[in-house]
């Protein structure tokens, strides 16, 4: 079994889900007392979030690249960046290590295409929705990506940072997300494009097919790890 590297802490709430899912999926795949071989390095999200807000993406990239070298040195065979937003600095992280970094956007796009869909709505942080780095990765796979209105984007972002990243899960916020999804025009499915969103809503809450990026990312990792 290969060792999965995880660059986490952004936030730790979703990184805990990465860790849990990896072990659950390995146990389902292999059985018995088997669990995933994982190297997890968790950064201080407050430092990264400050860089995000201040637009210091190069500094954030350097911080994650340095952390990634530590994950590699600890024995990881490949690496997951356990956050959608910080895939903005994916190239910096990949350039810093010799092991493969599995891009979350690629695993998500593959699942959407396997479902036979071409047009999807994207939910995520304001950075993920407003900036082109994530949409362009999905669009490179031939997908059409729709965004919520600016007002809805602000609502989605606020709930992520003010609630989900702090472990707060509210029914009122779930209904707010459902309302945002209902306002998508032409979407065939919905990308849950922030790792914390899966703490709030799932397929049972949405009439359209949903694509939970955390689970899809971890599934790809376990597929690679279990030889």
- Kindly report the number of other CB atoms within 10 A of residue 140's CB atom: 11
Q: In the prediction, which pLDDT does 120 show?
A: 98
Q: In the prediction, which pLDDT does 201 show?
A: 94
Q: In the prediction, which pLDDT does 227 show?
A: 75
Which CATH topology does 4-103+215-225 take? Rossmann fold (3.40.50)
Q: What share of the chain is helix, strand, coil (3-state, %, to 5)?
A: 55, 15, 30
**% the chain with pLDDT above 90:** 99
- The residue among 218, 227, 220 whose CA lies nearest residue 82 is 218
Mean pLDDT, to the nearest integer, of 26-53? 95
Give me the catalytic one of 82, 83, 195, 213.
Answer: 83
Is residue 202 pLDDT above 90, yes or no? yes
For the chain, give every domain's residue range: 4-103+215-225, 105-212
CATH (one of 3.90.1150.10, 3.40.50.1220, 2.60.300.12, 3.40.50.1860) for 105-212: 3.40.50.1860
Give me the catalytic one of 82, 125, 165, 194.
Answer: 194
pLDDT tens sequence across 157-198: 999 999 999 999 999 999 999 999 999 999 999 999 999 999
Mean pLDDT, to the nearest integer, of 143-156? 96
Give every strand in the sheet of 38-42, ordered side by side.
Answer: 38-42, 4-8, 78-81, 101-102
The answer to whether 4-103+215-225 and 105-212 have equal CATH topology is yes
**% the chain with pLDDT above 70:** 100
Mean pLDDT, to the nearest integer, of 10-38? 95
83 is catalytic: yes
Is residue 149 pLDDT above 80, yes or no? yes
Is residue 220 pLDDT above 90, yes or no? yes
- The two three-digit tokens of residue 227, written as one number: 């030889």
Mean pLDDT, to the nearest integer, of 22-27? 97
82 is catalytic: no
Per the prediction, the chain carries an average pLDDT of: 96
Q: In the prediction, which pLDDT does 29 show?
A: 93
Q: In the prediction, which pLDDT does 166 show?
A: 93
- Kindly report the number of other CB atoms within 10 A of residue 224's CB atom: 14
pLDDT tens sequence across 69-101: 999 999 999 999 999 999 999 999 999 999 999
Is residue 210 pLDDT above 80, yes or no? yes
């Amino acid at each position: 079994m290969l060792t999965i590297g995880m660059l986490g802490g952004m936030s730790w709430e979703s990184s805990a889900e990465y860790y849990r899912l990896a072990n659950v999926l390995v146990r389902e795949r292999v059985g018995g007392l088997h669990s995933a071989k994982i190297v997890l390095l968790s950064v201080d999200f407050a430092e990264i979030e400050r860089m995000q807000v201040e637009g210091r993406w190069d500094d954030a990239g350097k911080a994650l690249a340095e952390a990634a070298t530590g994950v590699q040195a600890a024995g990881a065979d490949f690496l997951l960046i356990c956050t959608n937003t910080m895939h903005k600095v994916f190239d910096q992280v990949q350039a810093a290590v010799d092991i493969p970094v599995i891009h979350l956007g690629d695993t998500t796009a593959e699942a959407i295409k396997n479902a036979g869909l071409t047009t999807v709505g994207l939910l995520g942080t304001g950075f993920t929705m407003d900036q082109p780095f994530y949409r362009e990765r999905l669009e490179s796979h031939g997908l059409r990506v729709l965004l919520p209105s600016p007002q809805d984007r602000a609502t989605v972002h606020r709930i992520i940072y003010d609630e989900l990243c702090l472990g707060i899960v509210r029914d009122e916020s779930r209904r707010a997300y459902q309302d945002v999804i209902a306002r998508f025009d032409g979407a065939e499915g919905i990308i849950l494009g922030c790792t914390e969103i899966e703490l709030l809503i799932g397929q049972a809450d949405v009439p359209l097919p949903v694509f939970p990026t955390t689970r899809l990312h971890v599934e790809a990792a376990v597929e690679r790890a279990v030889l």
